[in-house]
Structure 1
Amino acid sequence: MERIGKVVSPIREKLNRRANPEQQLQKLFAAREVRAFQMEHPEVPDAVYRRSMGALHQLVNERGHCDQCPGLDQCPNLMQGHQPELALYGGYLELRLTPCAKLVAKEKEKDRKRLIKSHHIPTDILTATFSSITPHKTRIPAISAAIKFCRQFAEKQPERGLYLYGTFGVGKSRIAGAMAQELVNHDVDSLMVYVPDFLREIKESIRDGMIQEKLDALKKATVLIMDDLGAETLTPWTRDEIIGAVLQYRMTEKLPTVITSNLDLDELEDHFAYSDKGGAERMKAKRLMERIRPCMDAYCVEGPNWREQG
């Protein structure tokens, strides 16, 4: 709340010059906001109201604006997005300002955007919520695990993440996006990245020297969501120096990671073993999987393809 006594002082002086101050006061007493204050504070004498007519006029005018709110961007009140309230101070009634519901909602939306960061994720995924996901019976175990994961933050940050896998279009990414939305309710920041595009961006960042900064963002997010891992074109460098480095850091620091993939864990290991030089690098793949298997609970996401359903 903020006092605006200095602002209403000129109004008070102007009103003092008007004729019939008692008539003015009676009109103000008839206003809903003033009557409500009188009922809450019957001990305040009329003399205080007489000395505070400027504040009373400002209260009635601005609350009238609120009753016919033209929207936050066109708010005509003295301080945009704020509502005045009466307060007794030093023998006068003064106005103190509180944020209106629209301003509070706008600030909450800013906080939501601040807490949810993303790279290359479509808007429909980022705005998904658990209530908007079709609760097909084959998705329920994964959705329940996702909700439980988020709610654990109310007491203690979980150390284990989730590995959501299944065929195309069954809703893995939507569940992950809903997790990001739910985490905001617990003031938890998350970073969601579409892995194939992010790795392409990383390669392009070699020239501008931004690789470490981008890797640090993935490493240090409270919750990292890696969407569509296994769909990327893999090289030993992206496997070992990017994916491996990020997962190693997060495992060491006990930061939970959520992964979505079209591959189950065994298929993902085969994917990591692929070498563009020919043959297979099984030991490196197993080493990387040791940063996934022990740190995540795996859930198969099934059900009808929501893209085909329209």
Structure 2
Amino acid sequence: MKIRLILNLLTLMTGGLVVTITSIFIGKQAYSWLPPQAAAESHLIDDLFSFLVTLGAFIFLAVTSTVLYSITFHRAKNYDMSDGPHIEGNVTLEVVWTAIPVMLVLWIAAYSYQVYEQMGIQGPSHLVHLHNPMQMQTGYAQEEETPAETVSEPLEKIDVLAKQWAWVFHYPEKGITSTELHLPSDRRVRLALQSEDVLHGFYIPAFRLKQDIVPGRTINFEFTPIRPGKYSLTDSQYSGTYFATMQANVIVETPEEYHEWLTKAASHIPTPAKNQAASEYAQTSNQRIKTGWGTVKPAAPPVVNFSG
């Protein structure tokens, strides 16, 4: 009896160790499933994602291993059609398997909320004016009326206007506008996010940044690009019929290249930029036979110095 108990304990410990190591390995692989980390804030989201994958893999492997072990070593003998032993409810077991999921959910919630605050994303609590002070580490978002915190790094300030269906970026220091967002690498950037009409979402997957843009409010959002390259900005909110066309290129370049681009763009005469939503709407409205539901007329193509 003691030998069997010892063997069961050794099997359980060995299985638990294998499952744990395998889960950690799978969690580490999760980093490669995401786009390159193009902003200093990216590691916060990637660490959270890796943690969730590790936890999910552990639960999946543990349950699967337990089922396989049970049907392999504890199945009934051939031609044994008798009923199993009658077992009443076990209060201790029920408390344990209820407490563990509750603790896991609270752990995930606490970790997720911590990352949420460190990223500085403004959620519903800000819209109903609840007091919810931010603890800034890397990312930071605040309403314009809130006193800005002092940041030692140099700030590049850019105004961002979202409208149906286009992104417009204004660089106040040079007085230029663009439909392509250019950013200097390794420099802290502050975006003043505004919406001209409905709720939009500022989302750059490579930066792991997603911030709702609420009509009638200006939200300052800070982050630090660290990887030169070309990335995509999209609207994370359904803002109407042509919201899928509301995309823009994000160009992260060295500070020298960035200032060269600013100088070059400043020399361009403002002209209407190409706008896919306006083009598709014009195509549809010119059809003799109307098909589909009516839609909001897109805003006029933005007039910019640089359209990419």
- The TM tier, using the shorter chain, reads under 0.3
Higher-strand-fraction structure: 2
> TM-score normalized by structure 2?
0.27
Higher-helix-fraction structure: 1
